[in-house]
């Protein structure tokens, strides 16, 4: 019975893989020596969405992308990308994807236009088609005004947008973005975010790995948290935040000596035991009656003469979710990601 069920599941899964989702991974395994980079990793990415992949260093994010992009063969499990099987149809997969790594891979001596035409020629578009496609992408990514300037003169955000444009030469249905805004300033990050939104609006499906929790919150309609090679949570950003709890009342007092009074005031309205952080002169607790709790605590502190630097309500963030889900495993030696990088570099 178990084997029959497994077979039925595989057949049902195969249909779903090729129809409902842009990316599907089931039970992916990848080992480097005695380190498990992926340990039964599962993932589904809906068509025309940004799906965030979050995890601490060494969690398996980059290895997962490398497997899905056919750069690395998994030791076990199966995956489809753009309806094609990663293991059995790697050439088909490569024709349907784009990949942008952590650092812009453009030639800074060439102009933006020349970079895109070069990539077009490398993809066998021919000179006329490559030039036409380069112009289309320069317009789409807001680089037309700088098209004939050397890429070395571009800002960080512009170089990343040029890199994104290069990954879209063949108009892939699925785009992998591996920490695309690493090292960018806020303006550069915002420029890249706008470009990603524009891509999704035209139907591209994006798998985004990032260390910036705000980035996933802003862009992703769904988020998978990976740790030690396994998916430990998968939900919408709001759904993940709900697992942490509702709104929190937070008070920061001006003097450390007043922290006990603030704790006592917050405890009267809190749903549970308040959390005090002595070094930050801060106390916070979950509350149900948001406005009522805020008003009562503010009144109590004022009546008792406690000076505060800040008092307010805050919703849980993805940072809170990330810390809650990974806190039990936060102390770990460097593992599979580093080993993966060394192994693949040696193989190259």
pLDDT digits 0-9 by tens, 72-86: 999 999 999 999 999
Structural domain contains residue 304: yes
Query: What pTM does this model have?
Result: 0.72
Residue 296 burial (10 A CB sphere; 0-12, 13-18, 19+): middle
Structural domain contains residue 138: no
Mean per-residue pLDDT over the chain, rounded: 84
On whether both 90 and 20 belong to a single domain, the answer is yes
CATH at residue 32: 3.40.50.300
On whether both 176 and 91 belong to a single domain, the answer is yes
Into how many domains does the chain fold? Answer: 2
Inter-CA distances, 237 with 44, 85, 178, 222, 245, Å: 15, 29, 19, 6, 13
On whether both 198 and 236 belong to a single domain, the answer is yes
On whether both 225 and 336 belong to a single domain, the answer is yes
**Interior/surface letters 175-184, b for 16+ CB within 10 angstroms, e for the rest:** bbbbbbbbeb
Structural domain contains residue 163: no
CA atoms within 13 A on the CB side of 90: 10
pLDDT band at residue 307 under the 50/70/90 scheme: very high
On whether both 89 and 195 belong to a single domain, the answer is yes
On whether both 75 and 190 belong to a single domain, the answer is yes
Structural domain contains residue 283: yes
Measured distance CA(209)–CA(178) in Å, rounded: 5
On whether both 188 and 292 belong to a single domain, the answer is no
On whether both 91 and 179 belong to a single domain, the answer is yes
Q: Which domain holds residue 337?
A: 14-96+172-241+326-347
Report pLDDT for 104. 67
Q: What is the pLDDT of residues 9-21, one digit of tens each?
A: 333 334 444 467 9
Structural domain contains residue 142: no
On whether both 274 and 337 belong to a single domain, the answer is no
- The residue among 340, 348, 325 whose CA lies nearest residue 56 is 325
């Amino acid at each position: 019975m178990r084997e029959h069920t497994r077979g039925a599941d595989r057949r049902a899964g195969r249909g779903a893989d090729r129809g409902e989702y842009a990316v599907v991974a089931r039970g992916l395994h990848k080992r480097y020596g005695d380190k498990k980079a992926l340990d039964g990793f599962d993932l589904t990415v809906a068509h025309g969405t940004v799906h965030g992949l979050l995890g601490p260093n060494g969690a398996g994010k980059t290895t997962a992308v490398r497997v899905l992009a056919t750069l690395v063969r998994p030791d076990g499990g199966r995956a489809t990308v753009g309806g094609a099987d990663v293991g059995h149809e790697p050439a088909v997969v490569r024709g349907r994807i784009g990949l942008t790594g952590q650092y812009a891979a453009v030639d800074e001596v060439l102009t933006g236009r020349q970079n895109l035409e070069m990539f077009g020629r490398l993809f066998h578009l021919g000179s006329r088609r490559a030039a036409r496609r380069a112009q289309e992408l320069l317009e789409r990514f807001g680089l037309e005004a700088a098209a004939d300037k050397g890429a070395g003169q571009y800002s960080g955000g512009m170089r990343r947008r040029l890199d994104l444009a290069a990954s879209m030469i063949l108009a892939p249905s699925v785009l992998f973005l591996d920490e695309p805004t690493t090292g960018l300033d806020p303006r550069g990050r915002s420029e890249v975010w706008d470009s990603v939104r524009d891509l999704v609006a035209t139907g591209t499906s994006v798998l985004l790995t990032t260390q910036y929790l705000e980035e996933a919150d802003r862009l992703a309609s769904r988020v998978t948290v990976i740790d030690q090679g396994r998916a430990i949570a998968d939900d919408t950003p709001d759904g993940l935040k709900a697992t942490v709890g509702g709104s929190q009342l937070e008070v920061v007092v001006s003097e450390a000596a007043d922290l006990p009074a603030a704790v006592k005031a917050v405890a009267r309205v809190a749903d549970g035991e308040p959390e005090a952080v002595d070094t930050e002169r801060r106390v916070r607790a979950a509350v149900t009656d948001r406005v009522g709790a805020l008003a009562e605590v503010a009144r109590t502190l004022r009546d008792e003469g406690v000076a505060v630097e800040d008092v307010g309500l805050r919703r849980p963030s993805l940072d809170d979710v990330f810390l809650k889900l990974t806190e039990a495993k936060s102390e770990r030696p460097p593992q599979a990601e580093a080993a993966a990088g060394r192994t693949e570099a040696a193989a190259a």
